Structure 1
Amino acid sequence: MAVQAALLLGMLLLTHRPGDAAILEANGNLSCRCAKTTRAFIPPWKYSSIEVRPVGSSCRRLEVVIKLKSLERVCVNPDTPWVKKLLQDLPNLRKKEAPH
């Protein structure tokens, strides 16, 4: 039985393709909300809100979800330059929105 398990594991490692990582990641991260992300730029005037979910035990990757005024939710790739800039500017944006 152990030999069969070792052979199966060896075959899986030899036939592993990069696309398979998404399947493994989805199964290992049951609390992640983003199955897919986009790199496409979304203009700020379309945003209703931004949710940033940090890396944690339930999801092993940073997730950025933009809720649009149309009520659609879009997961954006946090490694995309425009999203990095958005995350960097987010504390300043929150200060501007706070009542004085």
Structure 2
Amino acid sequence: MNCRIPVTVAVFLLALTVFSEGFELRCQCIKKESRFIHPKRLLNVELFPSGPHCKDAEVIATLKTGEKICLEPTAPWVKIIIKKILESSQPAGTTTSDN
């Protein structure tokens, strides 16, 4: 009996597991926080636009304690943070237009 096919499938599945490490294929945020968090408590804020992995844009804040919190993108104070992130990521000399 030829065992080449099961070995090939096993190697393929192992490679798929290794190479997909670190890629989230679903939404990362289950619960979103809308209450204000003072900027002094924030270490980092990441913006993940909507896409095939998740229909909603996600904003994930890392606190100075190391805790990660999902922020509600529609909260007014979070909108300000998103605007600053987008402005800082644009090349010099370009502007944003509010629609």
Aligned amino acid, residue 76 of structure 2: P
Summarize deviations over 1:11-67 as a string: whole Å, max 9, x none.
Answer: xxxxxxxxxxxxxxxxxxx61100010110011111111111100001000000000
Match of 1:85 in 2: 80
Unaligned runs of 5+ in 2: 1-24, 91-99
One of 34, 42, 47 as aligned partner of 2:29? 34
For residues 57 and 72 of structure 2, what CA distance do their matches in structure 1 show? 9
Q: Name the larger-Rg structure.
A: 2
How many angstroms apart in 1 are the aligned matches of 2:33 and 2:86? 23
Among all aligned residue pairs of Structure 1 and Structure 2, give the percentage whose two residues are the same amino acid.
33
SS in structure 2 at match of 1:75: strand
For these two proteins, the number of residue pairs brought into alignment is: 66
**1:12-91 superposed matches below 5 A:** 31-91=26-86
The alignment yields a C-alpha RMSD, in angstroms, of 1.9
In 2, Cα distance between the equivalents of 1:91 and 1:57?
Answer: 21
Find the aligned partners of 1:64 and 1:91 in 2 and give their Cα distance: 12
TM-score (structure 2 length as normaliser)? 0.60
Structure 1 unaligned spans of 5+: 1-29, 96-100
